[in-house]
Amino acid sequence: MAQIIKVLKGTKDILPQDIEMWQFIEEKANKIFSSFGFKEIRTPIIESTDLFSRGVGETTDIVNKEMYTFEKSDRSITLRPENTAGVVRSYIENGMSRLSAPVKLWYKGPMFRYERPQAGRQRQFHQVGVEMFGIKQPQADAEVILTAVNFLKSIGLNDLEVEINSLGCPKCRAVFKENLKEVIRPYLKDLCEDCQERFEKNPLRLLDCKVPDCQQIYSKPEIQKVITSDFLCEECSEHYTELKKYLDNLDVKYSENKHLVRGLDYYTRTVFEIKSNNLGSQNAVCGGGRYDNLVSELGGEPTPAVGFAMGMERLISLLPEKTPSLSDAFIVSNNPVEAFKLAQYLRENNINTEMDLSNKKFTKQLEKASKTAKYALILGEDEIANKQVSVKNLETSEQKTVSYEDCIALIK
């Protein structure tokens, strides 16, 4: 016997009994995002490696450790590890800057990162997200956060905690980075290997470290004094203050987290996470922020932008399991020709219909109908002769013999 080929580690089949939950989330995303004016975009799963090394940042763990990259025809190609860079590439390439601002886009689909599989996180995982281009004012940040909150509430998640922070602009952030390095330098040898590397390349990412020993060092008073300092320039400070006013007026409950930096290099000013109290330590279900320099860094005209992404696997892990839906009707008959005719008639009238294809006994067909459908449509010799069908409600056991036409009305 040939060896069975199994699914790759870190990937999963989405089986028929599970697919309704995925469709539920996708349908809610379409409904809520559309209500805010976002239009769906679908970008390729494979992109040029340069897109992510330039867009996501060469100092990030994603680019350094987690990307699936391969060579093809002397080109370096990468399976997308996230979708903001791809959407920005499409925005530039397709001339969307000529459209009236804001340009609002949303997406769904698989992403790929090589990391240790864990609860709610796989090597092939799926995201839904939004991106808004062309608005520099904090109203855009507030609307994107509100979009995320409304979507999460629409799928039944209410135990949410919104955390916000401002990373400032490159100008004011440069001073903060130097001050941070100065107070952390005496403890450099005690930091984890990743933090020692980040210290020179991207010191802001030090605050994103989850290693307990590093967190203990960063909690020291002299370091906390720098982290919590008001380093923002006047313009960035005003932007952040206005954002909080909008959130207050919209009744969006939030807290400020000075350690929140997110894991990607392209963020400027606003960053935010939405967390669920049901996920343990890895409890973020949504992450996003503003990235005003990314469009120009990827070759476009300077364009302010803000967005977020959510992992669908994590969302699903927080929701109660759905009972698989039943077909509307199951035809029970030993006359396959007439059963096919009736099935086609029902399907043309938007009735989801199944039938027996192996000519089993009536009792076996009824048994299958009771497990898979709401109604059993019994088509025996008498019914065929009279051009009728016996309709049995499988929940109440009530049964009526009616014409084909009345059968449609009875089921609907």
Could you give the domains of the chain?
16-168+232-318 (3.30.930.10), 327-411 (3.40.50.800)
Which residue matches tokens 């969006």?
252
Percent over 70 (pLDDT), the chain: 95
For 104, phi then psi, to 5°, come to -115, 125
Q: Residues 310, 129: contact at Cβ < 8 Å?
A: yes
Q: Which of 147-161, 268-282, 327-341 has the lowest mean pLDDT?
A: 268-282
pLDDT of 231 strictly over 60: yes
* Residue closest to 276 by CA, chosen among 131, 122, 119: 119
Greatest pairwise CA separation for the chain in angstroms = 93
pLDDT bracket for residue 33 (50, 70, 90): very high
The pLDDT assigned to 58 comes to 60
Could you please report the per-residue DSSP string of 59-128?
Answer: TSHIIIII-EEEEETTEEEEE-S-SHHHHHHHHHHTTGGGSPSPEEEEEEEEEE--S--BTTB-SEEEEE
**Span 340-362, pLDDT tens digits:** 999 999 999 999 999 999 888 88
Report the pLDDT value the prediction gives residue 64, as an integer from 0 to 100. 66
Q: State pTM to two decimals.
A: 0.88
Q: Which amino acid is at 348?
A: E
